[in-house]
């Protein structure tokens, strides 16, 4: 009986230590204030129509079950806070776009057990000045990180989506 108890205790310890720990590197509010130099513009809502949902799902390569996305905008700059699954858990990412190019992509909350190297500037700086091409891909190559392939893909996809959404809201505002 003691052997079974010890075995069960050992197994439960393995599962507990293998689970991802959530680490918050920055709050959404801090990221937004940094992007807009201390100001916090009022949040706006982007309602997803069929076209927007189809584009997002094409970029993600899976279904997207949201009806709306919150964003912050000031002039030709916007900030998007979104989540995407890395391997097993969502990664919360902030993307700041200005004049159709990425100013900053930043991991705000990381929930995976490995691959958190994507949070470092040596990786995220690759997104700076990236723009979206006609095929909804970035106009620059993003180098991967060994052992963090799915996290790299998640940040790349979210950056592409933020650029598409930014272009869409700026086109809508220009025609209003």
DSSP string, the chain: -HHHHHHHHHHHHHHHHHS---EESS-HHHHHHHHTTT--PPEEEEE--HHHHHHHHHHHTS----SEEEEEEETTEEEEEEEEESSSSEEEEEEEEETTEEEEEEEEEE-SSS-GGGGSHHHHGGGTT--B-TTSSBSS-----TT-HHHHHHHHHHHHHHHHHHHHHHHHHHH-
More confident residue, 133 or 14: 133
pLDDT of 25 over the 60 cut: yes
* pLDDT computed for residue 4 by the predictor: 53
Q: Tell me if residue 167 falls in helix, strand or coil.
A: helix
Domain ranges of the chain: 21-175
pLDDT of 174 over the 80 cut: no
Contact between residue 56 and residue 48 where contact means Cβ atoms under 8 Å apart: yes
* pLDDT computed for residue 2 by the predictor: 55
The whole-number average pLDDT for the span 74-83 is 96
pLDDT tens profile 103-145: 999 999 999 989 999 999 999 999 999 999 999 999 999 999 9
């Amino acid at each position: 009986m003691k052997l079974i108890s010890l075995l069960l205790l050992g197994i439960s310890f393995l599962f507990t230590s293998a689970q991802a720990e959530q680490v918050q590197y920055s709050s959404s509010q801090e990221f937004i204030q940094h992007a807009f130099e201390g100001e916090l513009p009022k949040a706006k809502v982007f309602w997803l129509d069929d076209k927007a949902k189809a584009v997002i799902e094409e970029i993600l390569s899976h279904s997207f079950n949201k009806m709306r996305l919150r964003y912050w905008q000031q002039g030709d700059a916007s900030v998007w806070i979104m989540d995407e699954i890395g391997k097993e858990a969502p990664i919360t990412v902030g993307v700041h776009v200005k004049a159709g190019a990425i100013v900053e992509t930043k991991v705000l909350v990381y929930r995976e057990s490995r691959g958190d190297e994507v949070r470092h500037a040596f990786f995220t700086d690759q997104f700076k000045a990236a723009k979206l091409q006609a095929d909804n891909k970035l106009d620059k190559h993003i180098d991967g990180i060994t052992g963090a392939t799915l996290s790299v893909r998640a940040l790349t996809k979210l950056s592409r989506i933020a650029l598409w959404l930014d272009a869409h809201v700026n086109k809508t505002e220009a025609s209003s």
